[in-house]
């Protein structure tokens, strides 16, 4: 949950966090000294002070290129290789970072509900819920930059590559009401997920405890751990079946990090386009069908009535970019 703040915060400060300006791409050539050096280690040297997690994110997202092509962290350089290094700098301590107007306006257009207590967006894919871990800003920082609200906080989070309903509170009382509902599991949260492979049967529940872990390179992930993990429950309901994939509606009864993605993997049906837990072979093939992101969309959120707060129902239609992918998938023979 988002920690409470003692007072509203309209500015965004990012001590020692990378900020990506619009210009400044560098192209460097590997020399004799770099021959045999891994690209991740090369970048850590070339980008001093940038967190390892951000360096690996740059590699995963394809922003770093060698001789024009995407590379994995373990790729070793050869003399003469041309390395594209994206623009990354370190913000000075206390420096205010204002998201670009394009971002502010796009999020304004994404508002699907607003009342005296809450603001809800149909969050576009590609926008993190909040800044940090190498990101100068996220949705919450952008909304604060509107300078419209005395108080605004995230009630929950969506992964950066997940689109759909994202709820924010406009008062501390509204925030506490939402946090209580999420904690006690009295909310109803439903997603659409395209998963890899043909689904057998109908609804399937996953009760698999989840725990956060971290690789040696600093990359964080979530895994099933029945001994040390936190209880986690998801229900997958097939909606449409294709030759090599299945569209499911997923209801989650808990809100763990990467819950749907890890539970889908545990079922043997990873989410399409998931770069962390997915099937690389399938994802490479489905890119030809137009899938450029993870196929996960939060389409419905319900908060039950609680005291002075009335019932809240929010929905966001599946975006056209995902519908177009479904239209191109071959059906079951």
Domain count, the chain: 2
96 located within any domain: no
54 located within any domain: yes
- 152 and 195, same domain (yes or no): yes
What is the C-alpha to C-alpha distance for residues 285 and 104, in angstroms, rounded to an integer? 34
- 242 and 130, same domain (yes or no): yes
pLDDT digits (tens, 9 = 90+) for 69-119: 999 999 999 999 999 998 875 545 445 467 888 999 999 999 999 999 999
9 located within any domain: no
Which band of pLDDT confidence, cut at 50, 70 and 90, is reported for residue 22? very low
Domain that holds residue 135: 101-328
- 140 and 22, same domain (yes or no): no
Q: Which of 90, 120, 143 is the last residue of a domain?
A: 90
Model pLDDT, residue 53: 77
In percent, how much of the chain has pLDDT > 90? Answer: 66
Of 191 and 50, the one with more pLDDT? 191
- 181 and 72, same domain (yes or no): no
- 36 and 79, same domain (yes or no): yes
Model pLDDT, residue 51: 72
217 located within any domain: yes
- 153 and 229, same domain (yes or no): yes
- 181 and 136, same domain (yes or no): yes
Which residues have C-beta within 8 Å of that of residue 250, sequence separation ≥ 6?
Answer: 190, 191, 192, 193, 234, 235, 236, 237, 260, 264
In percent, how much of the chain has pLDDT > 70? Answer: 88
Model pLDDT, residue 14: 37
pLDDT over threshold 60, residue 272? yes
246 located within any domain: yes
Model pLDDT, residue 97: 67
10 located within any domain: no
Per-residue CA distances from 37 to 6, 34, 294, 300 (Å): 48, 5, 31, 48
- 140 and 210, same domain (yes or no): yes
Of 37 and 135, the one with more pLDDT? 37
- 184 and 131, same domain (yes or no): yes
159 noted as active-site residue = yes
Task: Output the domain CATH number for residue 50.
Answer: 3.10.290.10
pLDDT over threshold 80, residue 314? yes
- 141 and 72, same domain (yes or no): no
7 located within any domain: no
pTM score above 0.75: no
pLDDT digits (tens, 9 = 90+) for 193-241: 999 999 999 999 999 999 998 877 777 889 898 888 999 999 999 999 9
Model pLDDT, residue 242: 96
Q: Which of 34, 62, 90 is the last residue of a domain?
A: 90
Of 13 and 220, the one with more pLDDT? 220
Q: Which of 90, 114, 149 is the last residue of a domain?
A: 90
- 55 and 167, same domain (yes or no): no
Average pLDDT, the chain: 87
8 located within any domain: no
- 191 and 62, same domain (yes or no): no
pLDDT over threshold 80, residue 67? yes
Active-site entry in 159, 274, 279, 283? 159
> Residues 16-44: what's their mean pLDDT?
74
Task: Output the domain CATH number for residue 214.
Answer: 3.30.2350.10
pLDDT digits (tens, 9 = 90+) for 144-183: 999 999 999 999 999 999 999 999 999 999 999 999 999 8
Per-residue CA distances from 333 to 244, 261, 284, 306 (Å): 10, 27, 22, 49
């Amino acid at each position: 949950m988002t920690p409470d703040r003692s007072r509203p915060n309209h500015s965004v400060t990012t001590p020692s966090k990378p900020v990506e300006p619009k210009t400044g791409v560098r192209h460097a050539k590997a020399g004799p000294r770099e021959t045999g050096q891994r690209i991740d280690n090369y970048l850590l040297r070339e980008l001093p002070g940038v967190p390892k997690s951000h360096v690996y994110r740059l590699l995963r997202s394809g922003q770093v290129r060698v001789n024009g092509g995407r590379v994995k962290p373990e790729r070793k350089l050869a003399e003469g290789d041309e390395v594209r290094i994206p623009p990354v700098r370190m913000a000075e301590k206390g420096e205010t970072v204002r998201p670009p107007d394009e971002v502010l306006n796009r999020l304004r257009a994404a508002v699907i509900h607003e009342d005296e207590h809450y603001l809800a967006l149909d969050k576009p894919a590609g926008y993190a819920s909040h800044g940090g871990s190498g990101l100068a800003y996220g949705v919450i920082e952008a909304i604060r930059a509107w300078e419209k609200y005395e108080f605004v906080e995230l009630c929950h989070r969506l992964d950066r590559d997940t689109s759909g309903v994202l709820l924010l509170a406009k008062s501390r009382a509204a925030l506490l009401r939402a946090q209580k509902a999420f904690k006690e599991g009295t909310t109803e949260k439903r997603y659409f997920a395209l998963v890899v492979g043909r689904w057998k049967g109908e609804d399937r529940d996953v009760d698999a405890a989840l725990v956060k872990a971290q690789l040696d390179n600093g990359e964080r992930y979530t895994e099933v751990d029945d001994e040390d993990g936190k209880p986690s429950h998801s229900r997958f309901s097939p909606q449409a079946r294709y030759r090599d994939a299945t569209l499911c509606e997923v209801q989650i009864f808990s809100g763990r990090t990467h819950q749907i993605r890890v539970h889908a993997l545990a079922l043997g049906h990873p989410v399409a386009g998931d770069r962390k837990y997915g099937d690389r072979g399938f994802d490479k093939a489905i890119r030809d069908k137009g899938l450029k992101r993870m196929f996960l969309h939060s389409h419905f959120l319900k908060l039950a009535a609680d005291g002075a707060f009335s019932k809240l129902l929010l929905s966001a239609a599946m975006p056209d970019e995902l519908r177009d992918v479904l239209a191109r998938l071959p059906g079951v023979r």
